[in-house]
Structure 1
Amino acid sequence: PAPPTPVPAVSIIIPVYKVERYLDTCVQSVLDQTFQDIEVLLVDDGSPDRCPEMCDAWAKSDRRVRVIHRKNGGLSAARNTGIETARGRYIVFVDSDDFLEPDTIRRAVAEQERTGAELVIFNLVYANDRGERWPTPDFTIFQDEILDEDGVWARYFALENQKIYYTVAWNKLYTAKLFADGLRFPEGKRYEDQFMLPHILHRCQNIACLGYQGYRYVQRADSIMAQGPASHYLDRPEYLLEWCGYFTEKGDYLRAEGLLNDAIKNLAEKDGFDLTTAQQRTRYRQACHDCSTAYGNLSRRTGRESMLLRAGLLRLGLPLYRIFLKHKT
């Protein structure tokens, strides 16, 4: 490969944890990119298998590869370590059990340079653990276009099974300046991409969207996101509440209330959560309290007294609030 420039154009961050079956395929797909001005940051998140040695072997075989060994802290912590180490003008995240098509980075960089977009989204396809494409969900619906922050949200809320195109961290080329003010993934959270999305979009004047399916998203039974339904984790109502606050600040009160009601509905399914620890019970109570606060905030913004009533009932508890809703219906 051609020698890299002292400061690479693109830093590709790959968090690594218990993926020895997939790691070589992933790294090879990155190094085989038609765009060669890259650095590859393998962030070994304290992996207990052969991954640390595999990472070191890659660094010895290709000067573009750097390895960071760190204590296990989870996916967000590993990504954040990569952000703090990256030198490139652009940042791309790749999950270590997935892989890129050969022309993905070249197309994304070319689109950024053509449009000046702060964020470039490239398309994806689902695949099995042998890398074979799945026909569904159908991501061929996405075409090349330039959107602003509000345009992305309009597209997102109009979708059903393809929302992942906009939400995930790994099918995107970010200008490094998006992270320059200390923006980082929330550590210790599931659905960290959803927590991050509003903050990323709010920093963008233009988002370039590509129809090119450059990312192969491998579905495996033991992945983090395969471990139970989303509604069983408090992270989901927590990010919905953050989104509610975000849309409230934007003045989109209808969408904010819809997200708030989704969070309340999720929290009402109390038996689905693991509340066996004091910490989890405290989180649950805080989320319920935050629903009341959010309705109070919406009431002040809109002048609707019915929202203030809902806030008061929520403060008294979800069971009473559900009785109110049943009676109202």
Structure 2
Amino acid sequence: MQSKTRIFDQPQPLVERMIMNVEKVIVGKRETIEKAFVAMLSGGHLLLEDVPGVGKTMLVRALARTIGCEFKRIQCTPDLLPSDVTGVSVYNAKSGEFEFRPGPLMTPIVLADECNRTSPKTQAAFLEAMEEKRVTIDGVGYELPKPFLLLATQNPADYEGTYALPEAQMDRFLMKLTLGYPTPEQEIQMLDRLQDRQPLEHLKPVIVQDEFVQLQKEAAMVHVDETLKEFIVRVALATRQHPDLYLGVSPRASYALLRASQSAAYMRGRSYVVPDDIKDLLLPVWTHRLMLTSEARITGKSPEAILSGLLASVQTPVLRYASSK
């Protein structure tokens, strides 16, 4: 970073370089990559849900290499223990004291691969780290590094050997994304790239860890007009009152949408949020937090359709300040 006082001096070229770096590995998924960077710039955790083999793990690895952070992978299995994730205190016979041996969760970027294949007890070990950016072992608290980003993958819930993630954990993921299958042309391009070498092995960082933390701070300074905050709250309130929803979005979800819209505006080179920033991110930030009533599920309704309807029913604010603000 050239200067610690730099604010909003068109960060698009740097962001574009980061996106293009990931596109060297992931073909034809620019929108997903952009939203992943929105989540990471917001300091939020990301959940990727899709069928096996579409590149979820590879995307996470490419994101980690691009921002030059230390990266560790947790392969979530049914026999994984909470101490395997957070770390454990071990008695040292020479010193006569217990020593803490950190687990993979004490890393700037953590990949929790197939996170819904591990037991609910182990899934609960992630909760404190995801919300408070710290872990408590044997009554002692340990701060996590900055940034701390949990990038998790999961297979669809109806796949064999999966556990449903608890609502409290789902609410701690800022965004949930899917990759989907590539088009035939994109799949051919992928085969061409993989035929001679693995692109991930040759991927170089675009920025380093301290620079990315600075980008996060700058994104958090993007201005959000009061009318836009009121807009977010009105839509959130509508989810809590909707007859087809057993559980609407929480205040944490409102804040997550605010932070994501700031990061999206920052990536687009603006020092202020516009309504489209919020509307573009409403579904990926809120859909996974909603719970349908039994009647709504039986009749085939979806959280996406409900949110889209609510968004259309709530009047979009018109900003009064000039675009040069």
TM-score when normalising by structure 1: 0.29
TM-score when normalising by structure 2: 0.29
> Greater relative contact order: 1 or 2 (C-alpha under 8 angstroms, separation 6 or more)?
2
